[in-house]
Amino acid sequence: MKQYLETATTYVTAHKQQFTVGIIAAVCIVVFGALFIYNQPHPPKLAYEPTKACDMLTPTKAMDVLGNEVISTDANTPAIASDAETATSRCSYTDKNADGSAMQSLAISVRSATNPAGITQNKTEFSGHKKNVVHSEEVKDLGTVAYFDEDLGLLHILTDKQWIMLSYKTGQTLESKPVSDVVSLAHKVLK
């Protein structure tokens, strides 16, 4: 055994420079690898999970309003905003009516706060948007605050962590259903 240790010591001494270079190279590879992994883009950390619009306005709920056959469109996956404060998901349905002037459609957009700053952002922008709407009607007993934009036929609902926009329209011109019909749909969606 002593002979093996002497042979190994002699070999290491004779090749000391190669061992030193090899150790330095290995350390550099580990450091650069760690830096590479550390600097990879990471998805934002979300305090609150964003809501999927089609989980609120499900195909079943859409069929309750539009009939037994509906066509679903839009991506349901929430898109996180560049500031990572909010995430928006959209979902819409139309009936299979061949007559374009009688076709009905439902659409929902849900802007979810992903953290406390997103809640503040939703409240601030909701209030700012409401001030800019010329013809609006207050809606009671729906979310924290709600109003109907009469010009666009769009119901805006602010909840604790979400800003929900809901529409229920008819025909190619997308004429809005009466506010009472849209509010009734909203109650189904928020259940």
The C-alpha atoms of residue 94 and residue 74 are separated, in whole angstroms, by 11
pLDDT tens per residue across span 123-137: 999 999 999 999 999
The C-alpha atoms of residue 187 and residue 179 are separated, in whole angstroms, by 12
The confidence band for 90, taking pLDDT boundaries of 50, 70 and 90, is: very high
Structure token pair of residue 120? 């503040």
44 has a pLDDT exceeding 70: no
The C-alpha atoms of residue 53 and residue 50 are separated, in whole angstroms, by 9
Least confident of 15-19, 119-123, 125-129, 160-164: 15-19
Higher model confidence: residue 2 or residue 56? 56
Write down the mean pLDDT value for the chain: 87
Q: What is the pLDDT of residue 66?
A: 92
Phi and psi based region of residue 143 (left: phi greater than 0; alpha: psi -120 to 50; beta: remaining): left
Q: What is the pLDDT of residue 42?
A: 60
The confidence band for 41, taking pLDDT boundaries of 50, 70 and 90, is: low
| Domain boundaries along the sequence of the chain | 2-38, 53-190
Q: Which amino acid is at 53?
A: A
Q: Which amino acid is at 84?
A: A
CATH pick for 53-190 out of 3.40.50, 2.20.28, 1.20.1050, 3.40.1000:
3.40.1000
Average pLDDT value for residue range 26-41: 71
* Nearest Cα to Cα of residue 177 among 95, 110, 122, 118: 95
CB 78 within 8 A of CB 145: no
CB 124 within 8 A of CB 116: no
The C-alpha atoms of residue 2 and residue 72 are separated, in whole angstroms, by 79
The C-alpha atoms of residue 62 and residue 54 are separated, in whole angstroms, by 10
CB 123 within 8 A of CB 107: no
